[in-house]
């Protein structure tokens, strides 16, 4: 199982979905759906934008756990 740690990164960096959307061009709806784990597929472009925004490595955003 792959977990997207967007909610955690937002809390650690004290940033809102609106601020991320403005800086990345991603919609707040997309960010909210990712944060609330409503998406099972996230485009690589979206992951790239989030990693650039948070200045983090992919493993800081995504976590793999064996089922």
CA distances from 61 to 35, 52, 67 (A): 11, 11, 19
Q: Are 61 and 9 in contact (CB under 8 A)?
A: yes
CATH number of residue 57's parent domain: 1.10.260.40
Identify any residues that bridge with 64 across adjacent strands, giving them in sequence order. 2
Containing structural domain, residue 51 = 2-64
**In whole angstroms, what is the distance from residue 9 CA to residue 26 CA?**
16
* pTM summary value: 0.91
How many domains, the chain?
A: 1
Angle (deg, nearest 10), helices 6-13 and 28-35: 110
Encode pLDDT of 20-61 as tens digits.
Answer: 999 999 999 999 999 888 877 899 999 999 999 999 999 999
């Amino acid at each position: 199982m792959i977990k997207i740690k967007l909610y955690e990164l937002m809390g650690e960096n004290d940033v809102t979905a609106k601020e991320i959307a403005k800086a990345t061009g991603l919609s707040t709806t997309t960010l909210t759906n990712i944060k609330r784990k409503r998406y099972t597929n996230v485009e690589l472009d979206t992951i790239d934008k989030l990693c650039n925004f948070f200045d983090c490595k992919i493993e800081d955003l995504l976590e793999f756990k064996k089922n």
